[in-house]
Amino acid sequence: MPRASIVIPAYNNLKFTLECLASLQAAGGVEDAEIIVIDDASADATSAVLATVPGLTLLTNPRTSASSVPATGRRKPPRASSSSS
């Protein structure tokens, strides 16, 4: 299991989302964390670009709504551990 899940909401802000991801990597300590970006029906290239980022879980909402990002984040089950015991 991941040590923590980091959920990042995104809506038509690819530049800032990429800066946020770069900042997390630069800060360190997120190697064991699950990073989830929830795209709230962006009209820009947010989903297309983020879909190419390795190690990132991308969830997309079909339409934008003020409550859809938190609801989507709560429905996402944690990633299963990939380590063998």
Q: What is the pLDDT of residues 9-66, one digit of tens each?
A: 999 999 999 999 999 999 988 888 999 999 988 999 999 999 999 999 999 887 766 5
Which tokens in the block code for residue 69?
Answer: 């990002």
pTM (predicted TM-score): 0.74
Among 34, 42, 51, 31, which Cα is nearest to 69's?
42
> What ranges do the domains of the chain cover?
4-75
Domain 4-75: give its CATH code: 3.90.550.10
Residues 6+ away with beta carbon under 8 Å from 70: none
